[in-house]
């Protein structure tokens, strides 16, 4: 039994803690990073997370929802931490970022594949930094000794300067905006979640743009001349924030079809994958794993015989 259960709710973060004799568990939600997409709520095995929506004020933009974590139900399994597309949740044990399901490889992490060829970058280009809707990219120019050069235009030997692009990958949902806006073809981003999203205009309430108001990715949803909200799936990360606030059940359809993740060695992920995608997609992944396992077994036997 816990010695103490604590909960602190501030403007920018929410923290719950479970204090035992030998260990102290803590889960922190960064409200500035949270989009209220609901992925953590979908997969929480203890139903300890719930979406909190804010009442809409007529004539104003709808506020993005947030989440509330029940300190009585949470067991600090940690699966909400690696599965948050925006890195808004962090679980710690005795002050260290430690997630047992990751260490045992019974639950995966998202694969955030973001590669930058900085040799292709021009000194005066900051397109990727300006394009990032979450301000996760910082571009700077460095001298040969590694110091930042702010006024590179007056630098006598520009050929020895280099561009450094820092990307906060742990928080990146891989929307690809930086790649598609880069004029030098220097960035490659592979989406970690694939799927499709469809808006049914005939079901949308007149003048409603709640989904557009809460979408964290600039340009994924946009207002057209027909005064309806449309989708640009080049940028969409299929987080589900739009679906969370949509006032009409059939107005917006979102389906995740695959999730790129690290290898796992247990079935703990299967139930979560089924919730996030579908039974069909979960079955596909299981079949692919089965085929891969058979192939590896055959290859090992052939190698042993040779």
User: Model confidence over 19-42: pLDDT tens digits?
Assistant: 998 899 999 999 999 999 999 999
Q: What is the pLDDT of residue 107?
A: 92
CA–CA distance, 71 with 267 (Å, rounded to integer): 26
Query: Angle at the Cα of 86 (from 133 to 71), degrees rounded to 5?
Result: 140
Q: What is the pLDDT of residue 305?
A: 63
Query: Are residue 167 and residue 197 in the same domain, yes or no?
Result: no
Q: What is the pLDDT of residue 223?
A: 86
Q: What is the pLDDT of residue 297?
A: 60
Reported as a single tens digit per residue, the pLDDT across 218-227 is 999 998 877 8
Query: Is residue 290 in some structural domain?
Result: no
Query: Are residue 174 and residue 249 in the same domain, yes or no?
Result: no
Q: What is the pLDDT of residue 165?
A: 97
- Judge contact between 242 and 230, C-beta under 8 A: no
Q: Read off the pLDDT of each residue in 90-94 and give the average, rounded to a whole number.
A: 96
Q: What is the pLDDT of residue 299?
A: 61
Banded model confidence at residue 290, pLDDT cuts 50, 70, 90: low
Q: Which residues of 110-141 are buried (b: 16+ CB within 10 A; e: fewer)?
A: bebebebeeeebeeebebbbebbbbebbebeb
Domain boundary among 103, 131, 155: 103
Token pair of 147 as six digits = 């110091």
- Judge contact between 127 and 137, C-beta under 8 A: no
Q: Estimate the crossing angle of helix 268-276 against helix 279-305, to 10 degrees.
A: 140
Query: Is residue 138 in some structural domain?
Result: yes
Sheet holding 13-19, edge to edge: 4-9, 13-19, 24-30, 89-93, 96-97
Banded model confidence at residue 100, pLDDT cuts 50, 70, 90: confident
Query: Are residue 117 and residue 155 in the same domain, yes or no?
Result: yes
CA quadruple 167, 172, 176, 179: dihedral, nearest 10: 0
Query: Are residue 95 and residue 120 in the same domain, yes or no?
Result: no
Query: Are residue 23 and residue 55 in the same domain, yes or no?
Result: yes
Query: Are residue 155 and residue 208 in the same domain, yes or no?
Result: no
Query: Is residue 301 in some structural domain?
Result: no
Q: What is the pLDDT of residue 1?
A: 58
* CATH at 18: 3.30.70
Ranges 7-16, 24-33, 211-220, 262-271: which has the least confidence: 262-271
246 or 249, which is more confident: 246
Query: Is residue 269 in some structural domain?
Result: no
Query: Are residue 122 and residue 44 in the same domain, yes or no?
Result: no
Query: Is residue 39 in some structural domain?
Result: yes
Domain count, the chain: 3
Ranges 12-26, 173-187, 246-260, 265-279: which has the least confidence: 265-279
Identify the burial level of 66 via C-beta atoms within 10 angstroms of its C-beta, where 0-12 means exposed, 13-18 middle and 19 or more buried: middle
Query: Are residue 59 and residue 29 in the same domain, yes or no?
Result: yes
Q: Where are the alpha helices (DSSP H) in 209-257?
A: 210-214, 241-245
Question: pTM of the prediction?
Answer: 0.89
| Closest to 40 in 3D by CA, of 184, 248, 280, 239 | 239
Query: Are residue 199 and residue 182 in the same domain, yes or no?
Result: no
Q: What is the pLDDT of residue 78?
A: 93
**Residue 130 contacts by C-beta under 8 Å, 6 or more apart in sequence?**
181
| Closest to 96 in 3D by CA, of 21, 23, 4 | 23
Q: What is the pLDDT of residue 152?
A: 85
Q: What is the pLDDT of residue 284?
A: 85
Query: Is residue 306 in some structural domain?
Result: no
- Judge contact between 180 and 169, C-beta under 8 A: no
What is the percentage of the chain residues whose pLDDT exceeds 90? 73
What is the percentage of the chain residues whose pLDDT exceeds 70? 94
Q: Where are the alpha helices (DSSP H) in the chain?
A: 39-43, 80-83, 100-103, 127-131, 177-181, 210-214, 241-245, 268-276, 279-305
Query: Are residue 181 and residue 117 in the same domain, yes or no?
Result: yes
* CATH at 163: 3.30.70.20
Domain boundary among 142, 173, 188: 188
CA–CA distance, 181 with 183 (Å, rounded to integer): 6
Query: Are residue 207 and residue 168 in the same domain, yes or no?
Result: no
Identify the burial level of 106 via C-beta atoms within 10 angstroms of its C-beta, where 0-12 means exposed, 13-18 middle and 19 or more buried: middle
Is 112 strand, coil or helix?
A: coil
Is 154 strand, coil or helix?
A: helix
Domain boundary among 226, 242, 259: 259
Query: Is residue 274 in some structural domain?
Result: no
Query: Is residue 244 in some structural domain?
Result: yes
Enclosing domain of residue 44? 4-103
Q: Are strands 24-30 and 89-93 parallel, antiparallel or unpaired?
A: antiparallel
Query: Are residue 17 and residue 85 in the same domain, yes or no?
Result: yes
The owner of tokens 């247990």 is 266
Q: Which residues of 178-189 are buried (b: 16+ CB within 10 A; e: fewer)?
A: bbeebeeebbeb
Ranges 71-85, 142-156, 168-182, 282-296: which has the least confidence: 282-296
Q: Read off the pLDDT of each residue in 255-273 and give the average, rounded to a whole number.
A: 89
Asked if the model's pLDDT at residue 296 lies above 80, the reply is no
Banded model confidence at residue 292, pLDDT cuts 50, 70, 90: low
Identify the burial level of 239 via C-beta atoms within 10 angstroms of its C-beta, where 0-12 means exposed, 13-18 middle and 19 or more buried: buried
């Amino acid at each position: 039994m816990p010695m103490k259960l604590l909960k602190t709710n501030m403007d920018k973060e929410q923290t719950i803690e479970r204090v035992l004799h030998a260990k102290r568990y803590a889960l922190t939600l960064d409200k500035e990073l949270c989009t209220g997409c609901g992925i953590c709520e979908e997969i929480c095995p203890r139903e300890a997370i719930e979406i909190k929506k804010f009442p809409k004020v007529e004539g104003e933009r709808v506020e993005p929802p947030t989440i509330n974590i029940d300190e009585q139900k949470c067991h600090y399994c940690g699966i909400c931490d690696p599965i948050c597309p925006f890195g808004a949740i962090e679980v710690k044990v005795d002050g260290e970022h430690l997630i047992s399901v990751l260490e045992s490889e019974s639950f995966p992490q998202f694969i955030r594949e973001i590669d930058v060829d900085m040799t292709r970058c021009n000194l005066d280009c900051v397109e990727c930094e300006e394009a990032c809707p979450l301000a996760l990219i910082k571009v700077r120019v460095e001298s040969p000794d590694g110091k930042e050069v702010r006024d590179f235009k007056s630098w006598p030997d520009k050929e020895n300067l280099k561009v450094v692009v820092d990307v906060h990958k742990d928080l990146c949902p891989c929307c690809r905006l930086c790649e598609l806006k880069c004029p030098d073809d220097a960035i490659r981003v592979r989406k970690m979640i694939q799927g499709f999203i469809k808006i049914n205009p005939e079901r949308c309430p007149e003048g409603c743009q709640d989904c557009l108001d809460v979408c964290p990715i600039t340009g994924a949803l946009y207002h057209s001349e027909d005064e309806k909200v449309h989708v640009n799936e080049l940028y969409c990360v299929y987080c589900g924030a739009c679906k969370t606030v949509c006032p009409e059940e059939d107005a917006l359809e979102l389906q995740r079809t695959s999730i790129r993740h690290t290898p796992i060695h247990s079935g703990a992920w299967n139930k979560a994958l089924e919730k996030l995608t579908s039974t069909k997609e979960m079955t596909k992944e299981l079949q692919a794993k089965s085929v891969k396992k058979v192939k590896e077994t055959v290859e090992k036997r052939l190698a042993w015989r040779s």
